[in-house]
A and B are shown apart, each in its own frame.
Chain A
Amino acid sequence: MYKRNNMKKISKEEFLSGDNFIRVKSLNEKLKKEEKRIRAFAESLQISLEKQKEEKVFDDYNFQTKFLLFSHNKACNKRHGVEDGDSFYEDTNYLSFRIGLDESFYKDDWDCGMGIIPKEEGMCYTMHCICEHSDLEWQDILDIEDVWIELKVDYQFFVEMPENKKNK
């Protein structure tokens, strides 16, 4: 944290200039495309989970989503105190891909006045989480090399001892 606080920060103008801007726009575009791919899978997965629960294939389930950011940049990993190959940021409060989630999560422009992505392109929700919900610096965002989005499902099975219930 000491190193992060003392790193020479880049300004928003630098972040949005030249190659940096192209890089940020490309990441947003890629994430938007990936969201569409994952949404189709996540929705059919959750329908299937509900069906299997009703049919008592399993007793219950948990469905959670999270994303992780990786960099091979030595300075970036050093700033975050991680080794190459480990994620330098994890967002476990990432709410996307849940069934019944409002359409706006997939269609709206999530730039929210930050002025990062041009209006005609629109910022996707995942990019919004990276830029707005995290404590990452502009430099950290430029250092992102891989984004992992995970749908985490726990298929649960319970065994209960009814005779013990009497002894509560």
Chain B
Amino acid sequence: MGLESILHKRNNMKNSSINLVEKIKQLEADIELKNEKITSLKKRIKEYDEANFWENTSGLTNKKIEWIINKYENSKTERYKRIEFLMLNDKDRFKEESKKIFSLNIKLKKEEERIRIVAERMHISLEKQLTEKIIDDYNFYVSLSIWSNKEDCNNRHLVDLGDPFYEDESYGMFYHFTDESFYSDDWNEWKHRFPEPYDKEPMCYTMHCLWDHCNLNWQDLLDIDKVRLELKVDYQFFVKTPIKRKTNSRV
């Protein structure tokens, strides 16, 4: 082997060694960036969890805590992923979609104020009718239903066009015992996740229900075309049979 060939090989090895060092440096930088992202994500998840565990978990069994976490996990994970993705890759779209969600929020807030007046007047009237024996008793309950005209959304929820794709029968507003905080508090527990100016926007209770109580994903919220709120009243009248039977009927 000649001297020239040895020198050539040495140079090649030196170059590839430099390349390897550079590659290692690049990989280390990538790892650091990814670690930072993971730390930041972990921090945000922790913040969210702390904000959402309004219940005193010390009084709950592990099974109950696990159940609560599982209940929210699916929709929460999807929304986390979606928000993180939009924030990192398409801020304009994120802003546009947040605008849609908050425009629904404003409409719902306005409707809550309108319904509250009707509901409060209704409770007074129902109690008066009961006292005056115009009716014998009554039931009062509230329901929340949402519709979409989008085929994709209806298909996701296995409903036909014209049918609600979600109904919340446990929606707890407009009862005579409903606390003032339901109407006046800011129910936005996700503030830090929205882009400006929506990070300062208060959320009404109905929007909070759609956001946090129903396992709807980000796209479902964007697909909402119509919301129906119903105050349901059963006016009841009782008739008792005048003569009590002496014997049991035959089986």
Rounded to whole Å, the gap between the CB of A49 and the closest CB of chain B is: 11
B149 in contact with A26 (CB, 8 Å): no
B243 in contact with A19 (CB, 8 Å): yes
CA distance A8 to B234 in the complex (A): 37
- B residues near A161, Cβ cutoff 8 Å: 100, 103-104, 107, 224-226
B 91-125 binary contact with A (CB < 8 Å = 1; else 0): 00000000010011001100100110010001000
CA distance A47 to B149 in the complex (A): 34
Rounded to whole Å, the gap between the CB of B61 and the closest CB of chain A is: 31
Q: Which of B122, B236, B248 contacts A148 (CB 8 A)?
A: B236
Cβ of B249 within 8 Å of any chain A Cβ, yes or no, is: yes
Rounded to whole Å, the gap between the CB of B176 and the closest CB of chain A is: 15
Rounded to whole Å, the gap between the CB of A72 and the closest CB of chain B is: 9
CA distance A74 to B250 in the complex (A): 10
Cβ of A160 within 8 Å of any chain B Cβ, yes or no, is: yes
B 41-80 binary contact with A (CB < 8 Å = 1; else 0): 0000000000000000000000000000000000000000
B249 in contact with A143 (CB, 8 Å): yes
Cβ of B227 within 8 Å of any chain A Cβ, yes or no, is: yes
A residues 6-49 in Cβ contact with B at 8 Å: 7-8, 10, 19, 22-23, 26-27, 30-31, 34, 37-38, 41, 45
CA distance A133 to B181 in the complex (A): 49
A 131-168 binary contact with B (CB < 8 Å = 1; else 0): 00000000100111111111111111111110111011
Q: Which of A34, A160, A167 contacts B239 (CB 8 A)?
A: A34
Cβ of B177 within 8 Å of any chain A Cβ, yes or no, is: no
- CB-based A-B contact count at 8 angstroms: 138
A158 in contact with B226 (CB, 8 Å): yes
Interface centre among B103, B226, B229, B249 (most CB of A within 10 A): B249
A27 in contact with B233 (CB, 8 Å): no
A75 in contact with B248 (CB, 8 Å): yes
Q: Which of B224, B234, B235 contacts A41 (CB 8 A)?
A: B235
A155 in contact with B118 (CB, 8 Å): yes
CA distance A62 to B191 in the complex (A): 38
- A residues near B230, Cβ cutoff 8 Å: 154-157
CA distance A26 to B245 in the complex (A): 13
CA distance A160 to B107 in the complex (A): 8
B 211-251 binary contact with A (CB < 8 Å = 1; else 0): 00000000000011111111111111111111111001111
CA distance A78 to B107 in the complex (A): 51
A150 in contact with B237 (CB, 8 Å): yes
Rounded to whole Å, the gap between the CB of A15 and the closest CB of chain B is: 12
Cβ of A73 within 8 Å of any chain B Cβ, yes or no, is: yes
Q: Could you pull out 27 A-B pairs where Cβ atoms are within 8 angstroms?
A: A19-B243, A23-B245, A27-B241, A27-B242, A34-B237, A34-B239, A41-B235, A57-B118, A75-B248, A139-B250, A145-B241, A145-B244, A149-B239, A151-B234, A153-B233, A154-B230, A156-B230, A157-B111, A158-B227, A159-B104, A159-B108, A159-B227, A160-B225, A161-B103, A161-B224, A161-B226, A168-B149
